[in-house]
A and B are shown apart, each in its own frame.
Chain A
Amino acid sequence: MTEAILLTIKLAGLTTLILLLIGSPLAWWLAHNRTWYKEIVNAMVALPLVLPPTVLGFYLLLAMSPQNAFGAFIKEHFDITLPFTFEGLVIGSVIYSLPFVVQPIRNAFEAIGRAPMEVAATLRASPLDRFLTVALPLARPGFLSGAVLGFAHTVGEFGVVLMIGGNLPGETKVLSIAIYDHVESLEWTEAHILSGGMLVSSFVLIFLMILIEKRWGRLN
């Protein structure tokens, strides 16, 4: 049981970290770019919102297979087989939770507008400098929402994990799978403990987020 909890936290934490790193520049690009293909990228980012997780999992499984180009490339260069491994789950989760992180950050960047960045430019701040010292601090609420949503959504994913991860204890058996397993085996007590724990910790997480946002709102 502890194994599944720790694995889930590790997966969700790592996924959130990766998403914040790649999501920030992507959100910035989406907020400020005016090229025609921006909306295509936008739609691709948003796709996991509407796509059935099993469909996403199915295509990810195919792509990751060493018989296909992407899977073969990873196998050759990193010596990792992605399907049914933790690494594969991380990749799947990053794609699956991408819109939940990118969209709040993008909205926050758009809400800042161009003015503070122009002010910073007239105060001699280079583009990277003003991104780091003006855009990031001002978009803080967006980062908080993005991180919380990304983390929670990764914790809760089921379909994608089942498709590409299976059910290997300590490797791919995350909380949601464990709960499903317990219910299938009529182990109600264990299912209750895990589900109840999820319920309480999810509430605490969201509540903390609301409190922090309120505090920042007062500061700004």
Chain B
Amino acid sequence: MSTLSARFDGKVGSFRLNMEFTIPSRGVTALFGPSGCGKTTLLRCIAGLNHMPGAELTLDGEVWQKGRTFVPTHKRPIGYVFQEPGLFPHLSVRKNLTYGMKRAGIDSRDSEHLNELTALMGIEHLLERGVTALSGGEKQRVAIARALLMRPRLLLMDEPLSALDQDNKNEIMPYLEQLHSQLEIPVIYVTHDRREVERLADQLLLLRKGELIAQGEIGEILTNPDLPFGRSQDAVTVLDGRVRHYDARYGLSTLQIDGGTLEVPDTLGPTGVYKRLRIASTDVSLALNTDQPSTILNRLPAVIWKILPTDGPSVNVLLRIGNMGEGSALLASVTRKSVDSMQLTPGQSVYAQIKGASLLGSSTTNKPRKHEMTPLIACE
């Protein structure tokens, strides 16, 4: 289990970074922020590609940088995926893949390891090809496999999708989601795309002008009333739920979330598995009671916590699920007119109505999705 702790306070070139953080030993940590906020510089400092004097960096207590100690990039047990795939044009796909393996002291004839990763990234059929004829998405998948084949203890990804067109992005996303559920090492993922964060991140570091302005679990950050996410017109709630049972008659799965249950029209895998749900605030409406029958399946009791203005004609109502508001946070997009006519105020009990279909959210492909995480509690 590796944990990265970092302290940066100083300049790289003309760029100033000032922050201190720890990355948990597993899961994807997104470095999120607008262009020019220092995300890539930070990642490059972690990799040792940039050298910021005075910074401190340790992985599992193993010092990479401190005082005069500076472990050069090629001696850090990292995998790095750049924006551009950076495949070596003079080598075949196979030789690109084994380039790092050989140097990381991993037997490049270990075909089991190679087969496993090429299968995971869907590039088995490309091994003997040259790299120039590959599509953008294929190149990036080779680059990811090349980094992982070294069995790194930390994976750094610098906007791996940003150089791809939408088709290639859609093609590669399921592979990333697959990785997310299977990798045992911490991943730091730089992006300025909120959809990537919603789909892939477990934790988020929010950067602005070289400073860390927030850090936390993805679910908390997206609904934090003090951060811009919850105030955006297309705000999203991300919930992790555990599959409780599947109703074959109606084709509905029941998921346990913090503060209630949700019914989702899909088979979400075996009981006990954790799934991520993405709920757009515009797919959540509010009602004062459940007297009227409705076609909306999911009507959860909730308590209004805060009403957040947005830049549009609507507001985002920040709710806490549960009769007493003891559960997860949830955002509902409501017009200002409704707020006035229903006299919505913080502390009030309401019902959040969630359109079932919107719960599918997280994937656009028919690939088997596995958002399987280690079950935290094994009770029933």
For residue A33, CB closer than 8 A to chain B, the reply is no
By a CB distance below 8 angstroms, the chain A residues around B80 are 119, 122
For residue A134, CB closer than 8 A to chain B, the reply is yes
Q: Is the CB of A122 within 8 A of B79?
A: yes
**Which residue of A120, A126, A138 contacts B89 across the interface (Cβ within 8 Å)?**
A138
Q: Which of A97-149 contact B (CB under 8 A)?
A: 115-116, 118-127, 129-130, 133-134, 137-138, 140
By a CB distance below 8 angstroms, the chain B residues around A134 are 88
By a CB distance below 8 angstroms, the chain B residues around A140 are 90
**Which residue of B49, B79, B100 contacts A118 across the interface (Cβ within 8 Å)?**
B49
A120 to B86, CA, bound (A): 9
For residue A185, CB closer than 8 A to chain B, the reply is no
By a CB distance below 8 angstroms, the chain B residues around A124 are 74-75, 100, 103-104, 150
A123 to B78, CA, bound (A): 8
Q: Is the CB of B146 within 8 A of A123?
A: yes
By a CB distance below 8 angstroms, the chain A residues around B229 are none
A63 to B220, CA, bound (A): 76
For residue A68, CB closer than 8 A to chain B, the reply is no
By a CB distance below 8 angstroms, the chain A residues around B130 are 219
Q: Contacts A124-B74, A125-B74, A220-B132 given; indicate if A119 touches B103 (C-beta within 8 A).
A: no
For residue B82, CB closer than 8 A to chain A, the reply is yes
For residue B124, CB closer than 8 A to chain A, the reply is no
**Which residue of A115, A120, A129, A137 contacts B84 across the interface (Cβ within 8 Å)?**
A115
Interface size on A, residues (CB 8 A): 21
By a CB distance below 8 angstroms, the chain A residues around B75 are 124
Q: Contacts A115-B84, A134-B88, A138-B89 given; indicate if A122 touches B99 (C-beta within 8 A).
A: no
Q: Contacts A122-B73, A134-B88, A137-B90 given; indicate if A129 touches B103 (C-beta within 8 A).
A: yes
A121 to B44, CA, bound (A): 12
Q: Is the CB of B88 within 8 A of A122?
A: no
B49 CB to closest chain A CB (Å) equals 6
Q: Is the CB of B90 within 8 A of A122?
A: no
For residue B147, CB closer than 8 A to chain A, the reply is yes
Q: Is the CB of B150 within 8 A of A121?
A: no
For residue B251, CB closer than 8 A to chain A, the reply is no
By a CB distance below 8 angstroms, the chain B residues around A123 are 74, 99-100, 103-104, 146-147, 150
A115 to B80, CA, bound (A): 12
B230 CB to closest chain A CB (Å) equals 36
Contact with A along B271-303 (1 / 0, CB 8 A): 000000000000000000000000000000000
By a CB distance below 8 angstroms, the chain A residues around B74 are 120-127, 129-130
The 4 lowest CB-CB distance pairs between A and B, nearest first, are A123-B100, A124-B103, A122-B80, A119-B86
Residues of B at the A interface (CB closer than 8 Å) are: 47-49, 72-75, 78-80, 82, 84, 86, 88-90, 99-100, 103-104, 130, 132, 146-147, 150
9 A–B pairs (Cβ distance < 8 Å), ordered by A: A119-B82, A119-B88, A120-B88, A122-B80, A122-B100, A122-B147, A123-B74, A123-B100, A127-B74
